[in-house]
Amino acid sequence: MSKTYIIAVIPGDGTGPEVVAEGMKVLAAASRKFGFTLEYTNFDFGGERYLRTGETLPGSAIGELGKFDSIFLGAIGHPDVKPGILETGILLKIRFALDQYINLRPVRLYPNVETPLRDKGPEHIDFVVIRENTGGIYTGHGGATRVGTPDEIATQLMIYDRRTVDRCLKYAFELKKKRNAKNPKYAEKPITLIHKRNVLTHCGDLWYRAFEEMGAKQYPELKRDYNHVDAANMWFVKNPEWFDVTVTENLFGDIITDLGAMIQGGLGVASGGNINPEGVSMFEPMGGSAPKYTGKKVINPMAAIGAAMMMLDTLGEAGAAQAIETAMMAVMRKMKSQAAGNMGYSTTEVGDMVADLV
């Protein structure tokens, strides 16, 4: 009997539904070719639902989502909803409640995709950022007093405990081992911890010691390196070829992965996975809901297709994931650009072409 995976789909807002549809088209092609079945359940979480009902996620949502094999998300964000409500009420809520403690963001420049980095090509830009996804400043510890007065005080604390750090590092070291085995080019490069331990002497020190201890004891064969986050930003631009697996805390990871997305060709091609290695993961294109492109069929679905590919890989369908990536690369070679509105094809045409080649 063929394997069946049950997938929760959250198309979300703006261009989310458009790109999710193309991702599903490609998933359908892969499931036919590789002999597995995907069953979908749609959830209407997002800005429209919030404006209609006043609710971000219903009370039952997390329990229900937790029953699926995986979650495929389009985009969350609505121009008529105040910033912060949907982000914390939906996206961050799911990441935290389902303990998706890894945010895996590959930064890979595919052939024929334009990067703003002069003199850099696909051979230079091929690394991953592992962003810790449940701790740090995102935990929301802190508060504000005397709000609105000249004496106002606000705090938002960077919280980390050893267990949260260790489980993230473990994932990073294991991924580094896998990548080294796959490609000798990766094996020449270190695993890099990114933090700011020259200033964050408590949190940075915790991460650094945990990294050094785990590396020395459990992975002595792997080269280790450390970069301060400001310097890492600089090297991502100047010498991206130095990097393979990088690992960092939540907010730093948020910031450097937008830079990563740009050097790999923009948000049209950047995908990410919110991964709970022991539970239910959620895959998404990194871009937002792009209101100005909504309904025009000009948004690039590649990032959503890439997210679908990552989802299959995580579900254990490595062959299908590889086939999707190969098809994506072939289609990227034909496209004029990866920028919305300038692809030389419509959103659905890009999805059709990838699906045809899987």
Task: Give the footprint of ligand IPM on this chain (CB under 6 A).
Answer: 87, 91-92, 254
H helix intervals, the chain? 16-34, 47-53, 61-65, 85-86, 93-97, 162-182, 184-187, 203-218, 229-238, 250-263, 302-315, 318-334, 347-357
**Tokens 């490069």 label which residue?**
189
Instruction: CB nearer to Mn ion: give 249 or 254.
Output: 254
Q: How far is the CB of 301 from Mn ion (least distance, A)?
A: 20
Instruction: CB nearer to ligand IPM: give 254 or 317.
Output: 254
Q: How far is the CB of 35 from ligand IPM (least distance, A)?
A: 33
Instruction: CB nearer to ligand IPM: give 192 or 250.
Output: 250
Q: Which of 22, 249, 254, 313 binds Mn ion (CB under 5 A)?
A: 254
Instruction: CB nearer to Mn ion: give 47 or 77.
Output: 77
**Span of 23-31, 39-47, 189-197, 252-260 interacting with Mn ion by CB under 5 A:** 252-260
**Span of 122-130, 182-190, 246-254, 312-320 interacting with Mn ion by CB under 5 A:** 246-254
Instruction: CB nearer to ligand IPM: give 215 or 272.
Output: 272
How many C-beta atoms surround the C-beta of residue 129 within 10 A?
A: 28
Q: Is 66 helix (H, G, I), strand (E, B) or coil?
A: coil
Closest-by-Cβ residue to ligand IPM is: 87
What is the DSSP pairing of strand 3-12 with strand 70-75? parallel
How many C-beta atoms surround the C-beta of residue 292 within 10 A?
A: 13
Closest-by-Cβ residue to Mn ion is: 254
- Ramachandran angles phi, psi of 145, nearest 5°: -130, 160
| 249 interacts with Mn ion by CB under 5 A | no
DSSP output for 147-182: TTSTT-EEEE--B--HHHHHHHHHHHHHHHHHHHHH
Q: How far is the CB of 93 from Mn ion (least distance, A)?
A: 16
Q: How far is the CB of 255 from Mn ion (least distance, A)?
A: 7
- Ramachandran angles phi, psi of 8, nearest 5°: -90, 130
Q: How far is the CB of 91 from ligand IPM (least distance, A)?
A: 5
Output the CA–CA distances (angstroms, integers) from residue 151 to 147, 148, 357, in the order listed. Answer: 8, 8, 62
Judged by beta carbon distances under 5 to 8 A according to partner kind, the member of ligand IPM, Mn ion, none in contact with residue 92 is ligand IPM
Instruction: CB nearer to Mn ion: give 38 or 232.
Output: 232
Q: How far is the CB of 293 from ligand IPM (least distance, A)?
A: 18
Q: How far is the CB of 352 from Mn ion (least distance, A)?
A: 30
Q: How far is the CB of 87 from ligand IPM (least distance, A)?
A: 4
Judged by beta carbon distances under 5 to 8 A according to partner kind, the member of ligand IPM, Mn ion, none in contact with residue 352 is none
Judged by beta carbon distances under 5 to 8 A according to partner kind, the member of ligand IPM, Mn ion, none in contact with residue 90 is none
Judged by beta carbon distances under 5 to 8 A according to partner kind, the member of Mn ion, ligand IPM, none in contact with residue 91 is ligand IPM
C-alpha 243/C-alpha 258 separation (Å) is 16
Instruction: CB nearer to ligand IPM: give 204 or 285.
Output: 285
Judged by beta carbon distances under 5 to 8 A according to partner kind, the member of Mn ion, ligand IPM, none in contact with residue 87 is ligand IPM
The CB-side HSE value for 239 (13 A sphere, CA atoms) comes to 7
Query: Contacts for 219-225 with beta carbons within 8 Å, 24 or more apart?
Result: 219/173, 219/176, 219/177, 222/173, 222/176, 222/177, 222/180, 222/190, 222/191, 223/189, 223/190, 223/191, 224/190, 224/191, 224/192, 224/193, 225/190, 225/191, 225/192, 225/193
Contact residues for Mn ion (CB under 5 A)?
254
